[in-house]
C-alpha cells in the first residue's frame, strides 16, 4: 500500500451527483418483458458485495442503512443464500433494478462456479442455499426450469477489495475468470468495483477525492484488468459505507457513477437481445 499521488487525476471523473441521481431516479427498462433490471454481484469472500448493496441503498435513501447483513471478522462467506434486494423509491414503489447477492469465492470452498452460471441464466430461484462443492440440479425445488428474461441477469459486477488484488489465490482468479467467460458467451456486459479504497491508500483515507490521483490504486486497476481481462474503463473505485453514521456527497459520487454504469450496461444487454 502506498500514498504517492499523481499531480492530476489519472481518470476524469466529474462527480455530478445530481445528474447521476436524476438518471437513476428516472430510469425504467425500455423492454416491456423486463420489470426489473437484474445486477448480480460476485467475488471473493469479504470483498464488500453485501456492503455495496447497503451503500447504494444509503445513497438513494439519504441515510446510512444496513439491511443486508454483513460480517467483519468471519473468514468465510457470511452470505449463504441467493437473495434479491430491491430498494424503496417511495413508500409505494421500488426502483426498477434488483441486486442479487451471492456467496463469496474461496480457494477450496465458497460458492460453486456452476451455481453462478445457472444464476446468470435465471435458473436459480431466490432463497436457494449455496452449499460449497455442490451445484444446483434440475431436479431440485429451487431450480427454475423456464426462466423469463426478467429472471435472467442483465449486468454482472465483480467486487474485490483494492488492497487484496495481489493476494487473490490463483484458484479464486480461475473461478472469477470462468464466470466472466460464461457471462461473455451469454452477451452479459460486465464491470468491476474495487472497494475499501480508503484502507488501501493513506492519501485517499485523508481525502476521498484523491481516489483517482492515487498511484497505488491506479496500479491495482491495471493489475486487476490484466488478471481478469476486464477493460480498465469498466473498473470503478468505490468506498462503501461502513463506519460512517451519515451519508457523504463525495462517497455518494463514487457509488452513483458505478451504479449508473451498471444500469447502462444492463439496459444495453436487454436492448441487444
Residue the block writes with cell 462527480: 15
- What pLDDT is attached to residue 107? 85
Across-strand partners of 178? Answer: none
**CB 99, CB 41: distance < 8 Å:** yes
Q: Which residues of 184-207 are buried (b: 16+ CB within 10 A; e: fewer)?
A: eeeebbbbbbbbbbbbbbbbbeee
CATH fold label, 17-62+93-271: Rossmann fold (3.40.50)
- What pLDDT is attached to residue 4? 86
Q: How far apart are alpha carbons 98 and 66 in whole angstroms?
A: 17
**CB 106, CB 77: distance < 8 Å:** yes
pLDDT in tens, 74-132: 445 556 789 999 999 999 999 999 999 998 898 888 889 999 999 999 999 999 999 88
- What pLDDT is attached to residue 94? 97
Concatenating the DSSP letter of every residue in 192-242 gives EEEE-HHHH-HHHHH-GGGTTTBHHHHHHHHHHHHHH---GGGEEE----S
- What pLDDT is attached to residue 74? 47
Residues of the chain with pLDDT under 70: 1-2, 68-79
- CA distances 228 to 31, 158, 218, 223, 238, Å, are 31, 10, 16, 9, 19
- What pLDDT is attached to residue 121? 98
- What pLDDT is attached to residue 2? 65
- What pLDDT is attached to residue 265? 98
Grid cell digits, residue 84: 434479491
- What pLDDT is attached to residue 71? 53
- What pLDDT is attached to residue 15? 74
**CA angle (137 as vertex; 71, 114 as ends), nearest 5:** 55
Determine the distance from the C-alpha atom of residue 159 to the mean position of all C-alpha atoms in its chain, rounded to a whole number: 5
**CB 230, CB 190: distance < 8 Å:** yes
Residue 69: partners with Cβ closer than 8 Å, 6 or more residues away: 50, 78, 79
- CA distances 243 to 63, 202, 208, 247, 251, Å, are 13, 16, 14, 11, 12
Sheet holding 155-161, edge to edge: 83-85, 97-101, 37-42, 155-161, 189-195, 235-237
For the whole model, what pTM was predicted?
0.93
Grid cell digits, residue 124: 436459480
Q: How far apart are alpha carbons 214 and 200 in whole angstroms?
A: 10
- What pLDDT is attached to residue 73? 45
Amino acid at each position: 500500500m502506498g500514498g504517492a499521488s499523481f499531480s492530476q487525476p489519472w481518470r476524469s471523473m466529474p462527480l455530478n451527483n445530481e445528474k447521476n441521481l436524476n438518471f437513476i431516479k428516472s430510469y425504467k427498462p425500455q423492454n416491456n418483458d423486463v420489470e426489473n433490471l437484474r445486477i448480480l454481484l460476485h467475488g471473493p469472500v469479504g470483498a464488500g458485495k453485501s456492503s455495496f448493496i447497503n451503500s447504494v441503498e444509503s445513497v438513494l435513501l439519504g441515510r446510512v442503512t444496513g439491511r443486508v447483513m454483513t460480517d467483519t471478522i468471519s473468514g468465510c462467506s457470511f452470505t449463504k443464500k441467493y437473495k434479491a434486494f430491491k430498494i424503496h423509491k417511495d413508500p409505494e414503489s421500488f426502483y426498477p433494478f434488483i441486486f442479487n447477492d451471492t456467496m463469496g469465492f474461496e480457494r477450496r470452498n465458497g460458492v460453486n462456479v456452476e451455481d453462478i452460471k445457472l444464476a446468470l441464466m435465471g435458473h436459480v430461484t431466490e432463497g436457494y442455499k449455496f452449499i460449497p462443492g455442490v451445484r444446483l440440479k434440475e431436479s431440485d425445488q429451487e431450480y427454475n426450469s423456464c426462466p423469463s428474461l426478467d429472471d435472467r441477469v442483465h449486468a454482472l459486477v465483480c467486487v474485490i477489495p483494492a488492497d487484496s488484488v495481489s493476494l487473490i489465490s490463483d484458484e479464486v482468479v480461475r473461478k472469477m475468470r470462468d464466470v466472466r467467460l460464461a457471462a461473455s458467451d451469454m452477451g452479459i456486459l460486465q464491470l468491476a468495483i474495487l472497494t475499501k479504497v480508503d484502507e488501501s491508500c493513506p492519501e485517499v483515507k485523508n481525502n476521498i477525492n484523491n481516489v483517482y490521483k492515487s498511484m497505488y490504486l491506479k496500479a491495482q486497476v491495471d493489475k486487476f484488468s490484466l488478471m481478469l481481462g476486464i477493460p480498465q474503463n469498466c473498473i470503478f473505485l468505490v468506498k462503501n459505507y461502513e463506519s460512517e453514521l451519515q451519508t457523504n456527497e463525495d462517497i455518494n459520487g463514487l457509488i452513483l457513477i458505478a451504479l449508473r454504469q451498471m444500469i447502462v450496461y444492463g439496459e444495453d444487454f436487454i436492448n441487444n437481445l
